[in-house]
Structure 1
Amino acid sequence: MTSSSHPRDLRAELETLTTEAFRPELADIDQLPTLEIAKIMNGEDATVPAAVAARLPQIAAAIDAVAQRMGRGGRLVYAGAGTAGRLGVLDASECPPTFDTDPSQVVGLIAGGPGAMVTSVEGAEDSRELAAEDLDALGLTARDTVVGVSASGRTPYAVGAVEHARACGALTVGLSCNADSPLAAAADHGIEIVVGPELLTGSTRLKAGTAQKLVLNMLSTITMIRLGKTYGNLMVDVRASNDKLRARSRRIVALATGAGDEEIERALEATDGEVKNAILTILGGVDGPSAARLLAESDGHLRTALEKAAG
């Protein structure tokens, strides 16, 4: 249901949130030298990793649950409004080139649709119904995970997405930057990164946005590590879609195998440029088709495939 809170009620609610708190000691910041403002801002930013560190157990538990669902074919869906929504869309859009995921595997939903990435869509964040409609359009199933993202932890679109997803049997994560948030309470896994009041009162694209970016980096990256999308700290599922990535592919094969340029070129040619397969042909001593079969039998985990090739 679209929020119908009275403006005075909403103002009173915002005043209780640490992300909205006013800091009188910074009231004259606009009169300081630029370097001094930059130093203050940098000092503020430096506090964010510690706030994230305080919630690492909750983050890790959420990641293990997400990886379990995705390992069974589920999708990872981010849902948020404004900065939070944009950060979700950003993280989702970077998964295909980094991990060769299908664009449908990690999805970013922003209140108001794609146009809201660059232009504010009035009222969209206040609609729980809109979140439910957006999720229904994806054909959400119990194998999927929905991560609601909201600095305040009260944005109706994010809370509504989590509530609707949970009703569908999907796994839910609520990422907020305030303690005791409705969003975290609504989710299976609540993650509250309490970064405190912003340099500019209520500008949650600052510390809160940075905290959200750090946590989303962890959610997607570590989930992909758990799913076998890496070999050590190498992106062995990188998609070679441009010259830079093709050069990176050769370098990754070299780092993983220690092979020379000619052997690497032969391996990539025999595997249609698939980095993971090329590494397996070199280290496992198998041909291209065998590498593809071993990886398929190993659910894409290169270490498991190497053990099978050696066994």
Structure 2
Amino acid sequence: MISTTDIFTISSQKQFEKIALKTFRYQYENNRVYQEFCNYLKTDVQKVKILEQIPFLPIQFFKSHTVVSNNNPIEVTFTSSGTTGMITSKHLVTDVSIYEESYLKAFSEFYGNIEDYVVLALLPSYLEREGSSLIHMVEDLIQRTNRPESGFYLHNHDELIKNLIELDESGQNVILIGVTYALLDLIEKQTFQLQNTIIMETGGMKGKRKEMIREELHEILCTGFGVTAIHSEYGMTELLSQAYSLGEGVFECPSWIQILVRETEDALTYVSSGKTGGINVIDLANINSCSFIATQDLGKKNPNNSFEVLGRFDNSDIRGCNLMVL
């Protein structure tokens, strides 16, 4: 069994690969859905020696199957957002402390001590439903700031505007994390000239506005908030870790996550750095579910292992990856 100490103290590529291969074998043995998927691909487990040989489970299996790698009780079920009648993903988490360790270590790595910040959250579409892993994380971060000013805002924009301006002018470090459409709603009501605030968008119009390309969106947000860069968080229901962008839409991963980019037409072939393809994520914090996820996001990987998200597959199934129904 792989320990969380192994996962969260990775310091080299060689170490990452060793733990990833060990995780692959563990999940093949203990995760029935993943094992059947690998068997369908005729994977010879003993011959898997490098990351590119590991099968990546299509993310939509979280909508239709129970993806777990042990028999422990389920502590929490994280669910994806979706329109009425849409089948949502379910991530069954048997040890929520691993998720908490993952996001706390990642936040600290990218932003430092949480107690140095006031965290303001504008996440209406997430707050209005049950089971959001993002809300679980942000709620915990808010509490850990130990600041009464930190908190969630739903539709009380006037109060948020007042508090944001006062905090920023006082010199307080602030993180405003918001779903994209809500941040746009806010700057339509009030423009800002913020000096001490990080604006972090967590993606998605959630059907409230038309989708926009990142460059256009970030330009509007930079102008509206009076900041030079927009930060972003890349996470999803099916993962227990986040990557962060400190600007320009370039994401970096903590040491226990890596990205591979696959061919759009052939899910078992990979493209070179700088080429666009489908994003595969290795999230070693997913030790109790599946650490090898083929997402529906399109992106490209840079030579320094940072990556960019360029959109999503048009069709609901991942082309070349919807290989079977278990």
Task: Give the greater-gyration-radius structure (CA).
Answer: 1
Give the structure with the higher percent helix. Answer: 1
Assess same fold via TM > 0.5.
Answer: no
TM-score by length of 1: 0.30
